[in-house]
A = this chain, B = another copy of it.
């Protein structure tokens, strides 16, 4: 089944465009979990069990696991296996921001799709098409190209003006001509105008956006700007405000409340 089909099914089932970022940090998770043998896995499992019918995807960012070395990566593997075993209809996006020349990119693609066994990955497009082909070969997976991030200094290189338009838009226009069905686009949620210009270029492409949730206005603007004409193909990620909403023993229920609130808020601006 293609990523798009899998996404459409879960969006319909859970009435949700919300993606929850699984970015565990041992200094931020509820303290009582630290006595567990694998606190990271248990933390993720609690969040997943509390939100599985409110989301359209989960997005672990691999940096948060790599920070703990091989032990952290074992927790990631357990999390992915748990998701596949119990919630196999929910797509998993590995936020890994990989990218290298062709021969090496093939090794990253093998790692991401064959070892980690996820449904989608974030990738740097900056090395050009030949560096992306090994990813595109996995036709049922989604390759999410990083076009514009939402950090303040992203403007330094991404917004350099070329003939009156920013570099990232020039980049997007080149990507638009690539004939691969499994291209997705990442755009940070802080810039609604950017999201809008990318949506206009890519009317039916799946767009992943992140940093959504902090302010109601941001949610509204990002959803209106990013959604396609039939109210689909936008994945709205939030990590911190959901997964670190509480440090108490009922943190999973607080996560659920936060996820429910954000899911409903997003939906409000679609219909």
Interface residues of A (CB under 8 A from B): 23, 25, 61, 63-64, 66-70, 73-74, 77, 97-102, 104-105, 107-108, 110-111, 115-116, 124-131, 146, 149-158, 160-162, 167, 170-171, 174
Contacts and interface: CB of A to CB of B under 8 A. Distances in A.
Given A101-B149, A124-B126, A127-B151, 12 more contacts: A25-B107, A61-B100, A64-B104, A67-B115, A70-B73, A97-B99, A97-B124, A125-B157, A127-B158, A128-B157, A129-B153, A160-B167
Contacts of A156: 128-129, 174
A104 B171 contact: no
Q: How many copies does the complex hold?
A: 2
Contact of A64 (B107, B149, B151): B107
Nearest to A157: B126
Contacts of A102: 151
A154 B105 CA distance: 14
A67 B130 contact: no
A151 B124 contact: no
B155 A160 contact: no
A102 B3 CA distance: 29
A232 to B, nearest CB: 27
Contacts of A107: 25, 61, 63-64, 66-67
